[in-house]
A = this chain, B = another copy of it.
Amino acid sequence: MEWKIVGIIAAVCTTTGFIPQIIRGVRTKKLEDISPIMYILLIFGLSLWLSYGIHLGDMIIIAANAAGLSFSVFILILRYKYMRQRK
């Protein structure tokens, strides 16, 4: 049971980590330094994790990866938006 809590805290940290990145991007209107390839790999990997969670019927895996996936897509869209505005 304690280990399940460790897993939940771990999932919360690795998922909510995207939020300060979004806040920073929206504030500075700059996301040039982040690697789009990193986020494309993340989106692909998190989609697989999500399907794995659906297969297992594990709500923690589903929720963490659905959130992480949405945040990653949003960061990538913001990056392209800000890059176009600077051209």
Residues of A within 8 A of B (CB): 3, 6-7, 9-14, 16-21, 23-25, 28, 30-35, 37-39, 41-42, 44-46, 48-49, 51-52, 55
Question: 30 pairs across A/B with beta carbons < 8 Å?
Answer: A3-B52, A3-B55, A6-B52, A6-B55, A7-B48, A7-B49, A7-B52, A9-B45, A9-B48, A10-B49, A11-B45, A13-B41, A13-B42, A13-B44, A13-B45, A14-B41, A16-B41, A17-B38, A17-B42, A17-B45, A18-B38, A20-B35, A20-B38, A24-B35, A24-B37, A24-B38, A25-B33, A30-B32, A31-B33, A33-B33
Chain A interface mostly: helix
